[in-house]
Every structure is written in structure tokens, then in C-alpha cells.
């Protein structure tokens, strides 16, 4: 019997066709929350990204639902424990977008190190060219600077490789691991580097750059007290979840000189972003596009298809 699948937040066309070729009935449509309560009970599975929320009350309306698939890493928008209690499998694609997110974090690091966000906004004529050439000559190189990674999962490890390649000293904090080992292959030679693990408090005091790669667990990772522990002139990058940073405290830390520059791909209240964040010249911004490369989307689609096909082949009705 064919499974009927709802793709709520989009999927690469190659993934849609692959599912159809495997005999799935696929519908691509985004419902608002009330419409989803009416329509999701008709489906055997749903594929989402970050926009659609699949909470416990919605699952309880869907006796046919066999799986919830998330095209991406974070599962903040899915009540995973309730799904497990209901026998609904939750699928995500942790391996597919790590490189893309890490590259964007590195792009923000390079951008704010050379104050490119300022020149991109302000260089509009000959006079601004001359003024900015003089003003932005006080930028920094990455070599010898210390990068603190908050979270040492796949994305953090990818960024660590890039940072080490740029001559940075990398430290990390992650309560869920005991050892952080990075594997390299350069010129057909394999070698490994161990990243020093530190407490968040020690890392905040040592870091020239801080990059967040942790899910949101209901508590801010960087709040007012954490900013007060940082080295003056630190740079902060967030490509994880906007809720991980108190944006009001962040703006105050910029004003006080504790934070020199910031790179943000995520925000506390997307898409209703704080106007003070939007207009601040010391903040480099991107519109939550960490995993949004053509390469990553194709990998995500393929990984989802593979997992869904395997699930159906192994599925045993309760």
C-alpha cells in the first residue's frame, strides 16, 4: 500500500521525484497551523524544515502518522519525546548541511574581521571610498587568534578545520563529549588534532572569537552575565538558533565595547528582527541561510529519501 506524504516546507525536485519513483504519493503544500490540524491526519508522513511546527497536540490528531522528517539538523520544531511515545519515527539529516553552515560561519568570521559589513553598507562614492580606506585599516587577521566553539558536533568540527587552516587556535566547550578530535586529509596524508575542551566560563575569558553551534534548550547561552565574562573586543558568530543569544544584552555589549563585531544568521524573533540589530553597523547579517546551498539541499533530499525508503521497507504495523 502506498504511503501518502506531505512536504510542508519544500524539498529539492530531485527528492520529490525520487520519492514518487519509489511509489510514494507526494503532495507539496504548506498549511497554516489550523489547516494542518485538519489535513495532516490524511497523511502517513510529513517532511518539514524549520517553519512547520509538529507539536504533541497535532500528533494526537494523526493516528496514521508514521514519521516526521526534518530536512536539516535541529529538531526544535518537533516534540520528539511525544513522537517516540506515540511510535512515530523522527528523522533528520545531520550529515548533509554541516559543511554549508560551517562555511557561512567562517564567512561571517572573515567579514567582521575585515569590517566588510561596514564597507558594503557605506561605500557609495569617491568620498566614502577614501574615508573607509583610512577607517578600515585597523582590521585584524585570524592567525594566532583564539576561537571558542560552543558545541562540538558536526558543524563545530567542520568550522574547527577551517579555523585551524586559517592559523587560529581553537578551543571548545560541549557538555556531551569527553574528547574533540578533528581528522584532516591533506596532500593524501591523514592526521588528527585534538581540540582542547574547556568550561564555558574559561572559554569566554580566553576567546577572541566565539561561534555557537548548539541547539536551543530553553535557556540563553549568551546572556548578560556571559557578556560580562568576555575579553574586551571579542567577535561573536551565531548560526545555530537565534534564541541562544539575548539580543538586547548583545547590543549593550557592542555599545560598551565588550563585543567588537557580530555575525548573525539567526535571530530571536524571525522574521520580525529587532530594528536595532538590522541597522547596527557592527553586525554582519544573513537571512537564516546556513544550510541553504544547492549542494546541501541536494544532499538533504537524498538523505531523506534514503531514510524514508528504508523506513517503509522495515515498517511493521503496531
The answer to whether the CB of 250 falls within 8 A of the CB of 278 is: no
C-alpha dist (Å) from residue 253 to 5, 199, 228, 247: 47, 21, 8, 10
Nearest Cα neighbor of 89 from 298, 300, 313, 307 is 307
Could you say which of 82, 114, 135, 288 is catalytic?
Answer: 288
- Preceding amide of 271 cis, omega within 30: yes
Residues 6+ apart with CB under 8 A from 204: 148, 210, 226, 229, 230, 231
158 labelled catalytic = no
Looking at 213, 241, 260, 299, which residue is catalytic?
241
Residue 241 bears catalytic tag? yes
Among residues 30, 86, 135, 270, which one is catalytic?
Answer: 270
Catalytic residue flag (residue 288): yes
| Nearest CA among 100, 83, 15, 46 for reference residue 304 | 15
* Residues with catalytic roles: 241, 270, 288
Amino acid at each position: 500500500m502506498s504511503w501518502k506524504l506531505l512536504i510542508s516546507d519544500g524539498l529539492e525536485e530531485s527528492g520529490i521525484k525520487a520519492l514518487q519513483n519509489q511509489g510514494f504519493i507526494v503532495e507539496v503544500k504548506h498549511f497554516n497551523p489550523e489547516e494542518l490540524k485538519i489535513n495532516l491526519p490524511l497523511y502517513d508522513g510529513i517532511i518539514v524544515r524549520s517553519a512547520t511546527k509538529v507539536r504533541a497536540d497535532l500528533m494526537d490528531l494523526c493516528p496514521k502518522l508514521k514519521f516526521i522528517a526534518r530536512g536539516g539538523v535541529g529538531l526544535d520544531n518537533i516534540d520528539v519525546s511525544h513522537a517516540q511515545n506515540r511510535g512515530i519515527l523522527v528523522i533528520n539529516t545531520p550529515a548533509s548541511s554541516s559543511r554549508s553552515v560551517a562555511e557561512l560561519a567562517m564567512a561571517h568570521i572573515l567579514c567582521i574581521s575585515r569590517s566588510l559589513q561596514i564597507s558594503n553598507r557605506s561605500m557609495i562614492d569617491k568620498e566614502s571610498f577614501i574615508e573607509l580606506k583610512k577607517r578600515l585599516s585597523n582590521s585584524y587577521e585570524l592567525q594566532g587568534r583564539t576561537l571558542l566553539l560552543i558545541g562540538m558536533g558536526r558543524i563545530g568540527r567542520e568550522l574547527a578545520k577551517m579555523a585551524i587552516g586559517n592559523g587560529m587556535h581553537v578551543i571548545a566547550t560541549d557538555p556531551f563529549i569527553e574528547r574533540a578530535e578533528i581528522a584532516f586529509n591533506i596532500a593524501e596524508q591523514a592526521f588528527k588534532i585534538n581540540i582542547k575542551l574547556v568550561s564555558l566560563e574559561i572559554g569566554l575569558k580566553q576567546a577572541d572569537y566565539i561561534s555557537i553551534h548548539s541547539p536551543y534548550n530553553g535557556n540563553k547561552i549568551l546572556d548578560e552575565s556571559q557578556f560580562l565574562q568576555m575579553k574586551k573586543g571579542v567577535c561573536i558568530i551565531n548560526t545555530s538558533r537565534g534564541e541562544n543569544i539575548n539580543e538586547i544584552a548583545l547590543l549593550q555589549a557592542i555599545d560598551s565595547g565588550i563585543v567588537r563585531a557580530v555575525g548573525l544568521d539567526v535571530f530571536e524573533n524571525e522574521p520580525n528582527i529587532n530594528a536595532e540589530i538590522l541597522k547596527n553597523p557592527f553586525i554582519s547579517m544573513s537571512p537564516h541561510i546556513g544550510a541553504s546551498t544547492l549542494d546541501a539541499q541536494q544532499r538533504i533530499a537524498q538523505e531523506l529519501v534514503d531514510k524514508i525508503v528504508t523506513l517503509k521497507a522495515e515498517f511493521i504495523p503496531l
